[in-house]
């Protein structure tokens, strides 16, 4: 079904991803209605309408859904009940099944394994004694990760010695977890894929990603020749995953490269921070193609437009260096309009096109 320009797109979540989605949608002539619990979220500032509501408020989500032509999300932790209230009213892309799988690290890994992917060695953990057994099996160092509600390194505890097990279990407050072996990777990269309702798939150049304290610091394309075999394998898995879910919209899969092998880390059924470089660095951005896909429009070409593109997140007070950034004519500055520059908070990003003529 084609959602014509002039229609209204609902966006659940009001962060910077929603902001950039709403800007891309406006360019194509759509109106956006943002739903988020915060008072003045970054996306609301650039959207036609904003509803402040809790992600668990079924009645509010049902009302929100009534005036929409299509809905999407930039935030993943919406429970199944409230989501049904929304899908009773309007179509939702990407599909609900993808959202539910990505909400749970164990389901996500098992799903990807079912399609031929290989995650880092892991063991599900549901009790303190299970954690000890898992540590005996995987060894140290390892990372204990809550199955649900983790992002940007939250809900994760590194365990270097067996004696730290009890403290780690306390730190996750006994939430269902997985224990994962620490991977000595050569690099991290992600696959950014967009799929249309008719099954058309586009994949951008895979960025090489560097994380600091669990938060994405930079994404660079091209990722380098050494990663090409791992990237090719990861792309095959991403396509298979998207087709299996009859997926519509942006899908990001994160990987560890170990030699020629790609170890699956996690997936995000939405636009992704490692794809911000596509706004200026590719013929069509991840945000525009997501909007095109969920509205049933043809997808745009995704070729890179410069020999090298680097995206760096501005975290905490990094954004204060904006004069230097603006003085660099290859740099594109994005600020998200957030008021307080808290430690670890993503305030903006800068994309540099290197070697462009």
> To the nearest whole angstrom, how small is the minimum distance from the Cβ of residue 145 to ligand AMP?
6
Question: Which of 211/240 has CB closer to ligand AMP?
Answer: 211
Residues between 90 and 129 that touch ligand AMP (CB under 6 A): 120
> To the nearest whole angstrom, how small is the minimum distance from the Cβ of residue 148 to ligand AMP?
12
Contact in structure between 171 and 157 (CB atoms under 8 Å)? yes
Which among 53-61, 108-116, 182-190, 218-226 is the span making contact with ligand AMP, rule CB under 6 A?
182-190
Give yes or no for residue 143 binding ligand AMP (CB under 6 A): yes
Q: What letter does residue 121 receive in the DSSP assignment?
A: P
Q: Which of 5, 124, 214, 224 binds ligand AMP (CB under 6 A)?
A: 214
Question: Which of 37/214 has CB closer to ligand AMP?
Answer: 214
73 half-sphere exposure, CB direction, 13 A CA radius: 26
Which among 61-69, 93-101, 178-186, 288-296 is the span making contact with ligand AMP, rule CB under 6 A?
178-186
Contact in structure between 248 and 197 (CB atoms under 8 Å)? yes
> To the nearest whole angstrom, how small is the minimum distance from the Cβ of residue 271 to ligand AMP?
16
Q: What letter does residue 297 receive in the DSSP assignment?
A: P
Q: Calculate the dihedral angle through the C-alpha atoms of 281, 284, 290, 291, rounding to the nearest 10 degrees.
A: 130
Give yes or no for residue 153 binding ligand AMP (CB under 6 A): yes
| Count of residues of this chain found to bind ligand AMP when the rule CB under 6 A is applied | 13
> What is the rounded distance in angstroms from the CA atom of residue 28 to the CA atom of residue 70?
15
252 half-sphere exposure, CB direction, 13 A CA radius: 20
Diameter of the chain measured on Cα atoms: 60
Question: Which of 153/176 has CB closer to ligand AMP?
Answer: 153
State the Cα angle at 11 between 6 and 13, rounded to 5°: 155
Structure token digits, residue 122: 């892991």
> To the nearest whole angstrom, how small is the minimum distance from the Cβ of residue 315 to ligand AMP?
14
Question: Which of 145/239 has CB closer to ligand AMP?
Answer: 145
> What is the rounded distance in angstroms from the CA atom of residue 114 to the CA atom of residue 127?
26
| List of residues contacting ligand AMP (CB under 6 A) | 120, 143, 150, 153, 180, 182-183, 188, 211, 214, 254, 265-266
């Amino acid at each position: 079904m084609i959602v014509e320009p002039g229609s209204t797109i609902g966006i659940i979540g009001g962060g910077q991803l929603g902001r950039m989605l709403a800007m891309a949608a406006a360019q194509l002539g759509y109106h956006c209605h943002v739903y988020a619990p915060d008072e003045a979220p970054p996306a609301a500032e650039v959207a036609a309408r904003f509803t402040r509501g809790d992600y668990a408020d079924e009645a509010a989500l049902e009302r929100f859904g009534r005036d929409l032509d299509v809905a999407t999300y930039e935030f993943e932790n919406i429970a199944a009940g409230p989501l049904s209230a929304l899908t009773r009213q309007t179509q939702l892309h990407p599909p609900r099944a993808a959202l539910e799988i990505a909400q749970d690290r164990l389901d996500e890994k098992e799903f990807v394994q079912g399609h031929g992917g290989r995650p880092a060695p892991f063991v599900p953990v549901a009790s303190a004694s299970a954690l000890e057994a898992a540590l005996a099996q995987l060894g140290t160092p390892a990372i204990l990760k809550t199955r649900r509600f983790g992002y940007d390194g939250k809900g994760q505890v590194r365990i270097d010695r067996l004696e730290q097990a009890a403290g780690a279990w306390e730190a996750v407050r006994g939430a269902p977890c997985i224990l994962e072996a620490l991977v000595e990777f050569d690099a991290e990269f992600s696959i950014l894929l967009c799929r249309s309702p008719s099954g058309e798939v586009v994949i951008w150049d895979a960025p090489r990603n560097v994380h600091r304290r669990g938060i994405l610091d930079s994404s660079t394309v091209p990722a380098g020749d050494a990663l090409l075999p791992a990237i090719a394998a990861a792309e095959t898995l991403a396509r298979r995953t998207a087709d299996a879910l009859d997926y519509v919209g942006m899908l990001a899969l994160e990987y560890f490269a170990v030699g020629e092998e790609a170890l699956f880390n996690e997936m995000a059924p939405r636009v992704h921070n490692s794809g911000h470089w596509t706004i200026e660095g590719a013929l069509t951005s991840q945000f525009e193609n997501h909007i095109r896909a969920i509205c049933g429009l043809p997808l745009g070409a995704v070729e890179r437009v410069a020999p090298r593109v680097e995206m760096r997140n501005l975290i905490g007070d990094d954004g204060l260096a904006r004069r230097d950034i603006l003085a660099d004519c290859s740099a594109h500055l994005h600020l998200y309009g957030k008021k307080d520059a808290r430690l670890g908070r993503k305030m903006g990003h800068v994309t540099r096109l290197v070697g462009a003529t």
